[in-house]
Structure 1
Amino acid sequence: MHRKLAVIAPAAAVALVLSTLAPATAGGGHGHHGHHGHSSGLKTVTALDGPRGVDALGDGRTLVAESDGSFSLVVERRHKPAKVIPLGSVAGGFAPAVAAGKNGTVYIVTGAGGEPGGPPTPGAATLYKWRWGYDAPKVVADIAAYQATDPDPYDLEGLPAESNPFGLAVLRNGSILVADAAGNDVLKVSKDGKRITTVARLKPRTVEVPEGLPATDPEGNPTEFPPAGTPIPSEAVATSVAVGKDGSIYIGELRGFPATPGTSQIWRVKPGATGALCDPEAPYSGSCKRWADGQTSIVDLAVDKKDTVYALSLSKLSWFAFELGVPGAEVGSLTALTRSWHGVKSKELARGKLISPGGVDVVDHTAYLTGPVFGPGSLSKLALDHHHRKGHHRR
């Protein structure tokens, strides 16, 4: 965080703000009908450093997390700069995910640390909680330790027990959902952290190698990829999880190598289900069904009370194109999706304005977004059109 923007609030003020956080319910948002009209401009709320995690609480209060592992409460003020109130920090390197629970509890989950296949670094792949009065965040669950006992049977990279927690949500009953991008699954952690169950597991999908991959990488080294159009299996990479109004769990995919655009799916898991299998070969059977298809490199989801899903893409050309330095691959997208008897309708919001975004939440006619996730960034907000209605459900 740019510390010149940080405001240390009196202890009583911070406690009051956090104590008024709404009890966690579902998703993040407000009602929506048909995506008519246009969204207004994207406005910066405050500067942040490598921001990703975001949970919009309403009334101009938003939880955010940055690349140094810090998490803060941003409080908007009319005609004045927003206050950034530091709350705590966990292991840094890449910004964690963050979500508000009941009674002022804040949950934070860190991603992988160390070399692939090796032991995680201290504080990596861990779920924490924080409340006012804590000296530091407390460990709720060691996600990496659980994944070591629950290997991915569909792993394609020879690391079936690898863990990289990426997405976070809180259920009405206080349980915490964690989307693990390396385990290709979504876990449910009890409030006390003593019980972890696998809610859903995502199977790989066969995709075609996309056209336009460069002949050299950003350092000028030759690249060797199968010819465009070659079908190859690709892992799901579960990056995001959100909760609908009825308790359904929505899961978003990044898509593994070769990250073919348009092959990221959104899955919907039946409320209360455990051990669900999200299978692209049988996408409409069982307790996990494909809710939408055709997305690219999803890194976050938000769901409103009308079950409009907001899917955030790191790059419209794919994360792999971004990594390879393909021109234009830094541009991401936010898409609002609604499902009816006629299928899924989609509308891109803030077209061309999102640069490597990291997180999204929606509340009070407004989408809150973080990014870029690498280097200097910000918390921004996007006013939505008048066809969006009020209402908020935690992710």
Structure 2
Amino acid sequence: MGLGVVALVAAGVTPAQAGHRHDRISTVVDLSGPRGVESIRPGITLVTEDDGSFSLVVERRNRPARVIRLGGIDEAAGFASDASQSRGRFYFLTGGGGAAEELPPGAATLYKLRHGELQPFADIKGHQATDPDPDDQEGVPTDTNPYGVLALKDGTVLVADAGGNDLLRVWPDGTVKTVARFRPRMVEVPEGLPDVDMEGNPTGLPPAGTPINSEAVPTSVTVGPDGYWYVGELRGFPANPGTSQIWRIKPGSLDAVCDPEVPDAGTCTRYADGLTSIVDLTADSRSVYAVSLSKMSWLAMELGLPGSEVGGLFKVSRSGNHTEIAKDKLIMPGGADVARNGTIYAVGPVFGPGALVKIR
């Protein structure tokens, strides 16, 4: 994804008035540019921050939450995109954004916490350098930008690579294999895009109605209520609203193809459509939830269009009738996770002062 938006997404939240369930937002702790979030159990949450650090946030009754730093990544290696844990094993992911063979050491790498220290566990960019995207639309088939990570109970780890347009699986010995590839989708340039950006520079955007093959840009992965693997798309340029999909992949799959032209065939099938700029997925025992960076699209946000800062958290329906949680209360949200007690945790903004919040 040449525009690099996945590496630059911003996230935020605004306070909400007390109301019905999942409409009350409260701050757990202030953080610096938090980027990833995963609930370990109610009251204990794993987060990443913009300085490359990874921490546990421990809530305490009638006292401020405690932040326990687990470790950090050298900022020269790239941004810390996400973190995940299973059965006491902690994994941390760095992003990339560019040809795999040109990235600096430590970028596009999966790390594992061992004996209190972060150590490289799997070389994502090394895998992508030898496994180019066959449907690349931007002339960089080895582009890699790992963005979403999920540790599984069997000791393997899933990685959604937004640049490589694929889902990867990492084994305990560091072996990396491709689970699925996400094919582009034909869209038309939408109406209403400006001729100049916020600085007055020409955008050079094609005219409305121009057909474009738009890359999937998978950003997120979760295990659904049925045990299948679910992957959410950001959607590449021109980032049309309503064109981000969620795919359902049979566990154990390798080299599956997720194709919007044939969405119901094979081991990767389309679970939901009609979403916009997905940057995270989570699930509880009954439902899958999707986080939308901007309900108008990430491109509208980058262009500074009025209202484009409003994102959303959606309870996903296969019928397309998605239910928004805390409607219009989230400003450019970057991620969320559902705790076992039903509380939803979210983080943001990615840049500058931010916070971990909970939605109840």
Q: TM-score, normalised by structure 2?
A: 0.90
**In structure 1, what is the equivalent of residue 173 of structure 2?**
192
Determine whether 1:98 maps to 2:79.
no
Rounded to whole Å, the distance in 2 between the matches of 1:116 and 1:331 is 32
Secondary structure of residue in 2 paired with 1:137: strand
Determine whether 1:74 maps to 2:50.
no
One-letter amino acid matched to 2:269: K
Aligned length: 338
Match of 2:136 among 128, 151, 155: 155
Secondary structure of residue in 2 paired with 1:374: coil
Which whole-Å deviations, capped at 9, do the CAs of 1:179-208 have from their partners, x for residues lacking one?
A: 000000000000221x21110100000011
Rounded to whole Å, the distance in 1 between the matches of 2:332 and 2:104 is 26
Secondary structure of residue in 1 paired with 2:316: strand
Match of 1:218 among 158, 178, 198: 198
Secondary structure of residue in 2 paired with 1:182: coil
Please report how far the alpha carbon of residue 344 of structure 1 lies from its aligned counterpart in structure 2 after TM superposition: 4.5
Secondary structure of residue in 2 paired with 1:157: coil
Rounded to whole Å, the distance in 1 between the matches of 2:306 and 2:262 is 36
Rounded to whole Å, the distance in 2 between the matches of 1:209 and 1:89 is 41
Rounded to whole Å, the distance in 1 between the matches of 2:255 and 2:298 is 29
Q: Which one has a larger percent strand, Structure 1 or Structure 2?
A: 2
Please report how far the alpha carbon of residue 38 of structure 1 lies from its aligned counterpart in structure 2 after TM superposition: 4.6
Please report how far the alpha carbon of residue 374 of structure 1 lies from its aligned counterpart in structure 2 after TM superposition: 2.2
Moved more, 223-232 or 287-296: 223-232
Match of 1:359 among 329, 335, 348: 335
How do 1:314-393 and structure 2 match up within 5 A?
A: 314-339=293-318, 343-363=319-339, 364-383=341-360
One-letter amino acid matched to 2:240: T
Secondary structure of residue in 1 paired with 2:299: helix
Please report how far the alpha carbon of residue 122 of structure 1 lies from its aligned counterpart in structure 2 after TM superposition: 2.3
How do 1:93-172 and structure 2 match up within 5 A?
A: 94-102=79-87, 104-112=88-96, 119-131=102-114, 133-134=115-116, 136-172=117-153
Match of 2:39 among 56, 69, 76: 56
Q: Is the 8 A contact 2:218 2:233 kept in 1?
A: yes
Which whole-Å deviations, capped at 9, do the CAs of 1:146-182 have from their partners, x for residues lacking one?
A: 0011000000001011110000112221100000000
Determine whether 1:43 maps to 2:20.
no
Which whole-Å deviations, capped at 9, do the CAs of 1:280-309 have from their partners, x for residues lacking one?
A: 000001110000000000000001222x11
**In structure 2, what is the equivalent of residue 388 of structure 1?**
none
What is the percentage of aligned positions where both structures have the same residue? 58
One-letter amino acid matched to 1:346: H
One-letter amino acid matched to 1:88: G
Please report how far the alpha carbon of residue 96 of structure 1 lies from its aligned counterpart in structure 2 after TM superposition: 2.0
**In structure 2, what is the equivalent of residue 274 of structure 1?**
254
Rounded to whole Å, the distance in 2 between the matches of 1:190 and 1:144 is 16
Q: Is the 8 A contact 1:268 1:290 kept in 2?
A: yes
Rounded to whole Å, the distance in 2 between the matches of 1:379 and 1:213 is 33
Please report how far the alpha carbon of residue 94 of structure 1 lies from its aligned counterpart in structure 2 after TM superposition: 3.4
Q: TM-score, normalised by structure 1?
A: 0.83
Q: Is the 8 A contact 1:52 1:357 kept in 2?
A: no
Secondary structure of residue in 2 paired with 1:286: coil
Rounded to whole Å, the distance in 2 between the matches of 1:89 and 1:266 is 31
Rounded to whole Å, the distance in 2 between the matches of 1:279 and 1:96 is 26
Please report how far the alpha carbon of residue 238 of structure 1 lies from its aligned counterpart in structure 2 after TM superposition: 0.7
**Residues 219 and 118 of structure 1: CA distance in aligned 2, closer, same or farther (over 3 Å):** farther
**In structure 2, what is the equivalent of residue 5 of structure 1?**
none
Please report how far the alpha carbon of residue 358 of structure 1 lies from its aligned counterpart in structure 2 after TM superposition: 1.3
One-letter amino acid matched to 2:199: E
Moved more, 343-352 or 48-57: 343-352
Q: Is the 8 A contact 1:171 1:247 kept in 2?
A: no
Match of 2:158 among 177, 189, 211: 177
Match of 1:237 among 203, 217, 221: 217
Which whole-Å deviations, capped at 9, do the CAs of 1:79-137 have from their partners, x for residues lacking one?
A: 111111111011335342000122x2210010006x65761122110000114x32x30
CA RMSD, Structure 1 to Structure 2 (Å): 1.5
Rounded to whole Å, the distance in 1 between the matches of 2:279 and 2:42 is 25
Rounded to whole Å, the distance in 1 between the matches of 2:288 and 2:268 is 16
Rounded to whole Å, the distance in 2 between the matches of 1:156 and 1:178 is 21
**In structure 2, what is the equivalent of residue 22 of structure 1?**
none
**Residues 55 and 286 of structure 1: CA distance in aligned 2, closer, same or farther (over 3 Å):** same
Determine whether 1:83 maps to 2:66.
yes
Task: Give 5+ residue unaligned stretches, structure 2.
Answer: 1-19
Secondary structure of residue in 2 paired with 1:96: strand
